[in-house]
Structure 1
């Protein structure tokens, strides 16, 4: 290898058994380097820097541990470097040269605009995410027209930028880095201590002992949450005082659904139980499950109260082995103060090690955060908050948005940035909001009405509010927390909301009657999935009932609901049932002629709630037996999803892809039961089981009949829109992204080719999914073929293909699905496809070495490895439509994943409001 002195491109993969080759430094002509290495990273880093010549244009480096050091002067010494891709896990900082220096070089030395686009991780890194292993990747690309940074992180250990910024997408990261370069960052010494446990175990008395309060032997129960400050001297830096906010949570069951939103990660937890009782009565393991799911990076101190009283109660000896987050076990007595000193010392030591403690923050951002915290009152308009930030030195709106969202994520304020109405006002003190919500949950009138909140009761509970609009805003916030949903007319109805945490425990008789009637439809099919959870947690399944309320039939209870798809051509019915156990299994079944899409929608919503609010809670997925579909629950057997996947993909010549029900002996097609899970549970399970996705999906497709093409199209449409929304969210930018194009010839002076763009509504559901806007609205004209459009066309074409708007999904399959495309629409998308054929090679040639290249035919899922430049698309559309009217399209959150979708007026209402559903006849 040493003789290859003129070698210009090299790709190496080196595992832990081999050291980095010494001959590498002698290859002085390299212009492209692609590496996949294992530790030691610093050795490889030194050799790479020595081998990199001024000719180097592209470096892609994947390393198991990217916490390495790069020479600060190394990047500026590479004048031709246009692509830098560094990918690794266990990252706490951007490696070596801070990313802001790379951005500064991209903009100052290349004299080009610095922008950001998102590149979601490749499929082969999903296994890292499923195990909650940190992953970080970033790329800088200095192009002639535009310098771009593509980022994606699932790391909760990241400190710079912090996760609260990383989670907001690329624009937020760029704003953070620019603010850091403008002024020297400062260190922050603040964090949270959360005291949790069952009711009446002594949490409030313990909190008072820690914060200097007075012990009260007649202390009443805490309603909601109470917050007090605690100042502690840093254990190793005596000149520093750590500011800790102590959150004391009420332990009553009705409050836990709201408390889950404040159990933020990277905080310190104290789990309290009463030493006079058994540890099981304190539900210690159930609380440990909650903390492990909600805050996996947080240390836990377990504290037994009433320690001066005789007790034989002890914790299980294997508790620390089962829950590694446990950092200490203590016994205290709040009445005498015994044990408090030892506990306080442990709090000081653990708080000093928290990720937020001592983290750096842009100086102007830190001042802006302090300014917001100092605002008077309980609420403030967004305009008032922006003004306070501007006065503190943050003069760009992107930065202000990132700060507000970060304060929301940290629990300092409540700000629903993606809701146009709620975003107009912020809650400055979450404890105030919690008290207002707790007042509704405490209402006996609401409980007696089986969860119905009347206008009169709302006015009684919140009658002291000065702001006349705040009552409706509070109901909307409860809706955003999935604690309630609005019903009736906002101005005139006697009833204003259903509070799902106050639903009746009993299952209504109408549920079984209506479900049985749904099974009498001709040619109906039944599909389902079940979720076995590790423990019972608050909000499951009531959060799901609130989030999917647009399908309500009015039949619901604390442990289930009957739902109905509104599609007039192909209605479907769904039954959700929680078995009520401490380790519950929750079944979701769907009936109808075409149940696949409805099951996928509901399964996605349920799994999204689990992933976001209780990661790690899911024990396994199960699939209900369908041997006797006419009566719900007639066959209680649940097949393991693993078993069905193996049977569906068994290549043995004698295999028939069927499983046998152990209760009835009937043989059932495993592929049929998997069909409804495509796009949601199935792919997630396949990834976690290391199965090949394509193999399983092809096995499922082999059993498809012409009657099921409608199901296929509905699911394909839904999955295509899911992909688009995911990519837009990763970019941290939103704008209409689906449109058709028509070449209207040469116009203007001098004559030039003119293209007409027509926006589409991004409605993801039935009966026909996304559609063109009415004639004459959302229409724009561009001359020639602008660069932003040529770059977006491959993505648009792949998206249209996935949605079934152009070949290969167009044709007989769409006709059978009842989708009618106008000749103009088909011509528009086919025009885009034709242009893409000419542009593909040049567009994809910019893919950095070391990353697989995608083809438009692979669809958006593969094009994700390249990504769409939504920043350029948005800038172009705003230039075409400065008022951002978008032909009447409105940004709304899709309930299933809370991502932004652009809808026409008709579908805005369809997305927001439940409909009146009658029992099937």
Structure 2
């Protein structure tokens, strides 16, 4: 069955640009994958406040959760559904039909209001909130005292959607709460959440059946010892309290599986935690803990650990390890125990600023103060990396105190070219755990201090920044240092130096050394094997090595597990010591030991005069000309992939040409835009990193409309939808104009791509704005702009919003719905037109006739069948094809032996298999010669693709590198298929798969039924 989930009135979606979670959840119930619907999970209702009509079609609905939804009435037709349980806590219900069979969870006030409609014996859960008055609380106590109410769940909490509610009734709650708890000896779940009670009620200790206890933001002075002696306690939430420590009795909670200590001022993990043998989940997010000790290895049942690795206090294990999760942390300590400890004394010094400011001279004078000033020295092209060593005393924190270790301190000085073209690219190398020096040329007075301060602050996670004013001819620009330090707390010093006579150089070097030695990660303990491998790589003078060679070096220094080797490689990559992209099948084969060599190769392309003259367009011949030295030959494909990885270029579909967006023409091309009722959206940045639109162009290059792309903008097109995106860096904004047709699809595509880009800037602040649509604003050049947050807030409350230009009241829900509701005119196939189904199969075989027949039968029943023979071409077009497999679409896969041995077919299948809803979206038909039901047969296909990979690899070794353009991608594809085919065929074999004979013999009725539930169509 397919549910028309658009028949629901106006709902305000928190994440309006993503696929509607409501649609997904309601379809899951319709498909039989779930029997529960939580309307408060994703949505806050605006107006009207009634249950969506789509729910009426859910004949498999058993449990309904309404908390946070804002519903005021339940319709009479709800009684027609087989609903067994309704949780209405936190829902302002005023009306409901009689449903005597339903089990309820209600607020105390609603239990009182519906006392004549609901049998207390059918109530399993209750909540007391800040809005429940004395009569409601007294009624609850009376029912409990008379034993008419036997609850298993009781919570005292601030409801969702009411974070600012005040507990005016707190004294009343405090007076009755102990009595209520004492009268409910069979409670299994009890909670006090966001209620400043200030104490832990004593009667809790007698709840012998209590398995789930939540005491969040209760703010007690201390936690009583007996709390951890509750015999049935499995889950405990003590989050958002002021607990600097916990009682020693914590170790007695031997059944505890979930422990939430988040947002408490715990500086270390309590030792008693390591005694909890059954603990599976530990939440320490927001706690200022300094280390995750080796004792974590004792928690063998632990599978979920939440810590914030970005907090500066947490230094052990190193953040690069902690960020990789629990397995990486356990591996770190396992290796440390096996090999012993060494200590980190290495950091990066990044020197930035405008071209010609003196960055390179300063870098060289740090190494050799006598380095002569060379007026004719050219500007740095791209990035130069210099090695600096000095004797240091590193402070080591140990369990029994602190000690000082005398050793050499290693610094990699990164000298960044200052030309404008490099600015967007440099962002990929501005890392945390570094010291930054901003060099300004005081003669030119052209340094954009605000830009550099903001971009370093954005990307460096608060790393210390020193401004060095390079005096030339005695001139020095006056800076308002006090104001700058208030705005940029990471600005630690402002120094001046004259590089012509070295005056001021000594204090500058001393301050740089001091900041390097004070970096939080210095002195961090590392497994000795890690440092041994690090030193071996440093002694290797090669530019790059293969992944296999890297593994061999690790084995030579005591590593035995490849997972540990990869973890070390990831750590070295995160520190900028090497480039090792493990998640990329092509790039993972090479470990670049000298990152400046790899980045230098990239910059050679961007700096090439011919490519610049050609507006960023280049091909394989250009790359052979630029990378002509023998060292580049084996890795040309990897270097192109590296450029794509950094969003510096994309391949033009169905050609061998590439485009570097930052070199595109700055002249906006002419293109038609005659779009009635187009929609506008704006992204406003507090700090706008350079090159956002370039990265978006690379990300969505397969959707670029003809030649409508230039240095600061692009037009994307998909089917009938169009989106124009223009960057205005001076105003820190992106302007998006959407054609009214298919606006929802286009907005979703663009917004998702931008979200992925934004996530690469950890502290980036972006506001999404929607222009007012009143008459005055429609005609205005600069209309009133409403933030999406304020529109959602007004729509949730059901209120109009006032235009700041015309002062008219505007429908907030209407402004939102224009962006995400289905388009008029039948453009939304899922909502009002026939369903679209894609078919993937091997052309030219037995499957052709079957697909012909299937296409006719399904089309006759209202389903549009799109054959990949007509729609798809190898490689580039698959990206557009995959975009059409959005939420609610389906793919029929005809599996025969030829399909499973076809690179084109398997490329399509591996792309589809990467989707989260793979099982729900793929409808396999297995032909007789596809041997996927026998494990040995599945292994035969794995062996086939391994043989293909080895055969091609050997053939490539016999051919000159200049003839391998594009061939490496084939090897990459074979490896991807080899790695994925066992998993995919195993999933397909496990699905309810029909044979070809059953489909044809049944006139495709079973297939049609399944497809109809997924994408819609005529059901008769």
TM-score for both structures, normalised by structure 2: 0.59
* Cα offset, 1:508, TM superposition: 0.8
Alignment correspondent of 1:244 = 411
Q: Which of 418, 426, 429 pairs up with 1:259?
A: 426
Alignment correspondent of 1:534 = 686
| Contact 1:597–1:711 under 8 Å retained in 2 | no
* Cα offset, 1:505, TM superposition: 0.8
CA distance in structure 1 between the partners assigned to 2:536 and 2:779 by the alignment: 57
1:552 equivalent to 2:684? Answer no
1:155 equivalent to 2:310? Answer yes
CA distance in structure 2 between the partners assigned to 1:216 and 1:63 by the alignment: 55
* Cα offset, 1:332, TM superposition: 1.2
| Contact 2:389–2:411 under 8 Å retained in 1 | yes
Alignment correspondent of 1:144 = none
* Cα offset, 1:163, TM superposition: 2.7
CA distance in structure 2 between the partners assigned to 1:367 and 1:544 by the alignment: 41
Structure-2 change in CA distance of 1:467 and 1:217 (3 Å)? closer
Alignment correspondent of 2:726 = 577
Q: Which of 750, 772, 775 pairs up with 2:894?
A: 775
* Cα offset, 1:176, TM superposition: 2.8
User: After superposition, what is the alpha-carbon deviation per residue over 1:484-513, rounded to whole angstroms, capped at 9, x for unaligned?
Assistant: 1122667xx4xx311111111110123xx2
CA distance in structure 2 between the partners assigned to 1:884 and 1:483 by the alignment: 37
CA distance in structure 1 between the partners assigned to 2:553 and 2:420 by the alignment: 38
1:291 equivalent to 2:456? Answer yes
Structure-2 change in CA distance of 1:342 and 1:177 (3 Å)? same
1:364 equivalent to 2:529? Answer yes
User: After superposition, what is the alpha-carbon deviation per residue over 1:244-279, rounded to whole angstroms, capped at 9, x for unaligned?
Assistant: 11111111111222211111112111111123344x
| Contact 1:627–1:635 under 8 Å retained in 2 | no
CA distance in structure 2 between the partners assigned to 1:228 and 1:217 by the alignment: 18
SS of residue in 2 equivalent to 1:605: helix
Residues 196-345 of structure 1 mapped to structure 2, 5 A cutoff: 196-212=352-368, 214-218=371-375, 219-234=377-392, 237=404, 239-278=406-445, 281-306=446-471, 309-311=474-476, 313-345=478-510
CA distance in structure 1 between the partners assigned to 2:741 and 2:809 by the alignment: 22
| Contact 1:773–1:904 under 8 Å retained in 2 | no
User: After superposition, what is the alpha-carbon deviation per residue over 1:73-109, rounded to whole angstroms, capped at 9, x for unaligned?
Assistant: x456556x344523231445455x5354324xx2xxx
Q: Which of 262, 283, 291 pairs up with 1:86?
A: 283
Residues 384-783 of structure 1 mapped to structure 2, 5 A cutoff: 384-487=549-652, 493=656, 496-510=657-671, 513=672, 515-516=673-674, 519=675, 526-553=678-705, 554-565=707-718, 567=719, 571-581=720-730, 583-613=731-761, 615-624=762-771, 638-651=785-798, 655=799, 657=800, 662=805, 669-675=811-817, 707=826, 710=829, 765-766=883-884, 771-772=890-891, 774-776=893-895
* Cα offset, 1:573, TM superposition: 1.2
Structure-2 change in CA distance of 1:30 and 1:641 (3 Å)? closer
CA distance in structure 2 between the partners assigned to 1:773 and 1:359 by the alignment: 54
CA distance in structure 2 between the partners assigned to 1:658 and 1:706 by the alignment: 28
CA distance in structure 1 between the partners assigned to 2:612 and 2:426 by the alignment: 20
| Contact 2:716–2:724 under 8 Å retained in 1 | yes
Q: Which deviates more from structure 2 when the two are superposed, residues 315-324 or residues 29-38?
A: 29-38
Q: Which deviates more from structure 2 when the two are superposed, residues 63-72 or residues 441-450?
A: 63-72
Structure-2 change in CA distance of 1:626 and 1:340 (3 Å)? same
Aligned length: 676
1:62 equivalent to 2:62? Answer no
Structure-2 change in CA distance of 1:321 and 1:891 (3 Å)? farther
* Cα offset, 1:172, TM superposition: 3.4
* Cα offset, 1:394, TM superposition: 1.9
* Cα offset, 1:205, TM superposition: 1.4
SS of residue in 2 equivalent to 1:414: coil
* Cα offset, 1:32, TM superposition: 4.0
CA distance in structure 1 between the partners assigned to 2:538 and 2:937 by the alignment: 39
Structure-2 change in CA distance of 1:824 and 1:207 (3 Å)? closer
User: After superposition, what is the alpha-carbon deviation per residue over 1:362-396, rounded to whole angstroms, capped at 9, x for unaligned?
Assistant: 22233233333433321222212222222222221
* Cα offset, 1:180, TM superposition: 3.0
Residues 779-790 of structure 1 mapped to structure 2, 5 A cutoff: none
CA distance in structure 1 between the partners assigned to 2:437 and 2:741 by the alignment: 52
CA distance in structure 2 between the partners assigned to 1:159 and 1:585 by the alignment: 36
Residues 371-382 of structure 1 mapped to structure 2, 5 A cutoff: 371-382=536-547
* Cα offset, 1:288, TM superposition: 0.6
* Cα offset, 1:443, TM superposition: 1.9
* Cα offset, 1:763, TM superposition: 7.7
| Contact 2:381–2:603 under 8 Å retained in 1 | yes
Higher relative contact order (CA 8 A, sep 6+): 1
**RMSD, aligned α-carbons:** 4.5
| Contact 2:443–2:473 under 8 Å retained in 1 | no
Residues 78-227 of structure 1 mapped to structure 2, 5 A cutoff: 81-83=278-280, 85-95=282-292, 98=294, 100-103=296-299, 106=300, 140-141=301-302, 148-151=303-306, 153=308, 155-157=310-312, 158-212=314-368, 214-218=371-375, 219-227=377-385
| Contact 2:258–2:282 under 8 Å retained in 1 | yes
Alignment correspondent of 2:519 = 354
Structure-2 change in CA distance of 1:778 and 1:240 (3 Å)? farther
CA distance in structure 1 between the partners assigned to 2:810 and 2:897 by the alignment: 49
CA distance in structure 2 between the partners assigned to 1:192 and 1:713 by the alignment: 58
User: After superposition, what is the alpha-carbon deviation per residue over 1:302-360, rounded to whole angstroms, capped at 9, x for unaligned?
Assistant: 11111770445334541100000111111111222222222222222211221331112
* Cα offset, 1:400, TM superposition: 1.9
* Structure 1: segments with no counterpart, 5+ residues: 107-139, 142-147, 679-700, 718-760, 780-795, 806-818, 826-875, 894-899, 906-921
* Structure 2: segments with no counterpart, 5+ residues: 1-200, 396-403, 837-878, 899-912, 927-932, 947-968, 973-978, 986-1020
Structure-2 change in CA distance of 1:351 and 1:173 (3 Å)? same
User: After superposition, what is the alpha-carbon deviation per residue over 1:581-617, rounded to whole angstroms, capped at 9, x for unaligned?
Assistant: 2x3221112225222122111112123213313x444
Structure-2 change in CA distance of 1:503 and 1:444 (3 Å)? same
CA distance in structure 1 between the partners assigned to 2:801 and 2:658 by the alignment: 46
CA distance in structure 1 between the partners assigned to 2:258 and 2:687 by the alignment: 47
CA distance in structure 2 between the partners assigned to 1:878 and 1:318 by the alignment: 69
User: After superposition, what is the alpha-carbon deviation per residue over 1:141-184, rounded to whole angstroms, capped at 9, x for unaligned?
Assistant: 4xxxxxx3455646353423333233334543443343233332
Structure-2 change in CA distance of 1:18 and 1:217 (3 Å)? same
CA distance in structure 1 between the partners assigned to 2:742 and 2:827 by the alignment: 7
* Cα offset, 1:659, TM superposition: 6.5
CA distance in structure 2 between the partners assigned to 1:403 and 1:71 by the alignment: 29
| Contact 2:702–2:880 under 8 Å retained in 1 | no
CA distance in structure 1 between the partners assigned to 2:594 and 2:725 by the alignment: 36
TM-score for both structures, normalised by structure 1: 0.65
Task: Give the greater-gyration-radius structure (CA).
Answer: 2
SS of residue in 1 equivalent to 2:895: coil
Alignment correspondent of 1:113 = none
* Cα offset, 1:290, TM superposition: 0.3
| Contact 1:713–1:804 under 8 Å retained in 2 | no
* Cα offset, 1:771, TM superposition: 3.9
